[in-house]
């Protein structure tokens, strides 16, 4: 019964994603085009910044209306010098700020963004990360969904990189964000992505800014919740015009650390959303139970149906995102990857590890 319900829900999600039911529609763009501040927090990012800042320099938006602010968070490498060299000669306004003190309750990346938001001079704050490359259409496409009353707009982010681990992460992000998109279009405020996010200044200021929010290693979700709590709406987009590209976690260890950070955000989700996550992640346990109960044929059939339904969602998500669909054999490999990652994370949690390593710092 569980497997049947799971498959029905996956089929429903695939149908909604493919038919764009509930998707946000653009609004008339602000006239004249508004000034926009782009905030980039960077700590030890000398290798990633040229790609990120190069994409910002290629935006199809008047450079005179753009302000790029890079916050150097006490880097121990050449982050500041690389940022300044990458932006040298840019026609728009830009600054590289050294972040040396904490504002209010903010720490880490949230503290850098708090400083950058104070330094920003525009009413539209676009936030991205140093390991992200945005499309040329990014600014205009995000602004097209800044309807009256909307506080945040979140774009789509996909993974790009060589190797099997990168390809599995790409599929992981695609499937996860596809399900989030379906939930969002059904009216559920699930989450936001701080590497591809627009925040309207009145919404940001209503929260008191990052310096007024409780510290969180998932600072984007903390801000998203606070903005929603102040009565502002949200938009979640799943389209090529706002499709940013992220570099993958370079190793299994860094991937585990990333997901441990994300689990902090999951713990703050409403109970019914957490229940949904538990429901969707329990399929392997049910299949294992069937096998242990002496019904291996049913267990194999359940797993085959799971792989087929996941591939169908992958096809729908790829088409809507405007990317090539992953090779079919990645879906079975993804099931093994997901099981291994879930097991690893569960063991770490059971062993009572509390600290999270992030950019050379430990957070508890």
Q: Which CATH number does the domain housing residue 66 bear?
A: 3.90.550.10
Task: Please give the pLDDT value at position 3.
Answer: 76
Average pLDDT over residues 260-267: 75
Does residue 201 lie within any of the structural domains? yes
pTM of the model: 0.92
Residue 208 DSSP SS3: coil
Task: Please give the pLDDT value at position 353.
Answer: 61
Buried b / exposed e over 7-17, threshold 16 CB at 10 Å, is: bebbeebbebb
At 87, phi and psi to the nearest 5? -100, -5
At 198, phi and psi to the nearest 5? -110, 130
Does residue 359 lie within any of the structural domains? yes
Q: Are residues 128 and 149 in the same domain?
A: yes
Contact assessment for residue 212 and residue 144, using Cβ atoms and an 8 Å cutoff: no
Does residue 272 lie within any of the structural domains? yes
Of 215, 234, 254, which closes a domain? Answer: 254
When the pLDDT of each residue in the chain is averaged and rounded to a whole number, the result is 89
Report the distance separating Cα 300 and Cα 191, nearest Å.
34
* pLDDT level of residue 111 (50, 70, 90 thresholds): very high
Q: Are residues 244 and 147 in the same domain?
A: yes
Q: Are residues 99 and 211 in the same domain?
A: yes
Does residue 111 lie within any of the structural domains? yes
Of 254, 282, 311, which closes a domain? Answer: 254
Report the distance separating Cα 135 and Cα 25, nearest Å.
20
Task: Please give the pLDDT value at position 267.
Answer: 67
Residue 69 DSSP SS3: strand
Q: Are residues 174 and 215 in the same domain?
A: yes
Q: Are residues 7 and 118 in the same domain?
A: no
Average pLDDT over residues 40-53: 96
Residue 7 has pLDDT above 80, yes or no: yes
Residue 354 has pLDDT above 80, yes or no: no
Task: Extract the runs of DSSP E, i.e. beta strands, from 141-293.
Answer: 150-154, 156-159, 196-200, 233-236, 243-246
* pLDDT level of residue 50 (50, 70, 90 thresholds): very high
Average pLDDT over residues 204-223: 91
Q: Are residues 242 and 288 in the same domain?
A: no
Residue 295 has pLDDT above 80, yes or no: no
* pLDDT level of residue 218 (50, 70, 90 thresholds): confident
Judge residue 337's burial from the number of C-beta atoms within 10 Å of its C-beta, 0-12 exposed, 13-18 middle, 19 or more buried: buried
Q: Are residues 150 and 297 in the same domain?
A: no
For the chain, the domain total comes to 2
Start-to-end Cα distance in the chain? 40
Q: Are residues 124 and 11 in the same domain?
A: no
Residue found under tokens 């797993």: 303
Position with higher pLDDT, 303 vs 74 = 74
Per-residue pLDDT of 149-205, as tens digits, reads 999 999 999 999 999 999 999 999 999 999 999 989 988 888 889 999 999 999 999
Helix (H) or strand (E) holding 357, with range, is: strand 356-358
Q: Are residues 53 and 177 in the same domain?
A: yes
Q: Are residues 157 and 241 in the same domain?
A: yes
Domain that holds residue 280: 2-16+265-363
Task: Please give the pLDDT value at position 351.
Answer: 78
Task: Please give the pLDDT value at position 291.
Answer: 73
Q: Are residues 333 and 228 in the same domain?
A: no
Q: Are residues 272 and 247 in the same domain?
A: no
Can you read off the two tokens belonging to residue 81?
């010098």
Q: What percent of the chain has pLDDT over 70?
A: 93
Average pLDDT over residues 302-323: 91
Does residue 21 lie within any of the structural domains? no
């Amino acid at each position: 019964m569980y497997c049947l319900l799971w498959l029905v829900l996956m089929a429903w999600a695939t149908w909604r994603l493919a038919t764009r039911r509930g998707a946000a529609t653009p609004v008339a763009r602000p006239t004249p085009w508004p000034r926009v501040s782009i905030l980039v927090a960077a700590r030890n990012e000398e290798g990633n910044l040229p790609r990120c800042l190069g994409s910002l320099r290629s935006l199809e938006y008047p450079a005179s209306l753009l302000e790029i602010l890079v916050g150097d968070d006490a880097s121990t490498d050449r982050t500041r010098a690389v940022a300044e060299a990458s932006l040298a000669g840019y026609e728009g306004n830009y600054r590289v700020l050294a972040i040396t003190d904490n504002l209010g309750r903010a720490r880490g990346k949230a503290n850098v963004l708090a400083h950058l938001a104070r330094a920003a001079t525009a009413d539209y704050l676009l936030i991205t990360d140093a390991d992200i490359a945005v499309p040329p259409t990014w600014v205009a496409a995000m602004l097209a969904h800044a309807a009256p009353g909307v506080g945040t707009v979140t774009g789509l982010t996909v993974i790009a990189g060589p190797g099997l681990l990168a390809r599995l992460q790409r599929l992981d992000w695609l499937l996860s964000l596809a399900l989030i998109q379906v939930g969002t279009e059904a009216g559920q405020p699930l989450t936001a992505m701080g590497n591809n996010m627009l925040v309207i200044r009145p919404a940001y200021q209503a929260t008191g800014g990052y310096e007024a929010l409780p510290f969180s290693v998932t600072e984007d979700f903390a801000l998203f919740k606070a903005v929603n709590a102040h009565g502002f709406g949200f938009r979640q987009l799943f389209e090529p015009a706002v499709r940013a590209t992220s570099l993958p976690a370079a190793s299994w260890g860094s991937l585990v650390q990333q997901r441990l950070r994300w689990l902090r955000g999951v713990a703050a989700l409403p109970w019914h959303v957490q229940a949904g996550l538990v429901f969707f992640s329990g399929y392997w346990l049910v299949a294992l139970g069937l096998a242990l109960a002496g019904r291996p044929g049913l267990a194999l059939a359940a797993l085959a149906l799971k792989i087929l339904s996941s591939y169908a969602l992958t096809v729908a998500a790829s088409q809507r995102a405007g990317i090539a669909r992953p090779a079919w054999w990645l879906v079975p490999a993804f099931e093994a990857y997901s099981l291994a990652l879930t097991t690893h994370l569960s063991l770490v949690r059971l062993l009572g590890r509390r600290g999270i390593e992030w950019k050379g710092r430990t957070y508890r």
